[in-house]
Amino acid sequence: MSSIEARLSIIEDRMAIQDVLNGFCNAVDSLSDMDGLLKCFTPDAIFDLSGIHLPKFETHTAIRGFFTEVFKGMTHHAHLSANFTVDALGENSASARAAVLGTGVASDGNSVLVYVRYFLDFVRTSSGWKIKQLREAALMPLPASLTEIHAR
């Protein structure tokens, strides 16, 4: 049995990485909070949407570019993350996954609803846990509107 301190730290770390994911979903759904969104990621983070037929974005600059378009193009967003599962938890790195229902409406009236898996790699930094990589994979068939909306 680990020490009380070590056991407590594991619980705190699990909660902290889940908080980062929730913070990301909240920022995505705000359709405006770019700072809140970017602070979930390390500067060199990879946001990989190739599993759902969209690009792979590397670094804050690229991620900001994508979400600038998303925030401009969408009028509504809702992302519900469930089944948060910690696959690995080390001193300064962690991996987790979640099942996410993401839905939205674009300013041209088009709408989208996807069920996807998020695979997340986290690293501990001097300002807390951050996403080093977020990779998405489809759980259910992807609607055509997903690429229509994001390929504008």
The residue ranges that bind a copy of itself (CB under 8 A) are 4-5, 7-8, 11-12, 14-15, 19, 22-23, 25-26, 29, 76-86, 97, 99, 101, 103-105, 115, 117, 138-141
- Closest CA relative to residue 77, chosen from 38, 107, 34: 107
Return the C-alpha torsion angle 40, 93, 14, 126, nearest 10.
-50
Find the helix or strand (DSSP H, E) in which 77 lies.
strand 74-89
Query: Which CB sits closer to a copy of itself, 43 or 128?
Result: 128
Nearest distance, CB of residue 62 and a copy of itself, angstroms: 25
CA–CA distances in Å: residue 90 to residues 4, 59, 129: 17, 24, 12
Q: Which is nearer to a copy of itself, 18 or 147 (CB)?
A: 18
Output 59 or 97, the one with its CB closest to a copy of itself: 97
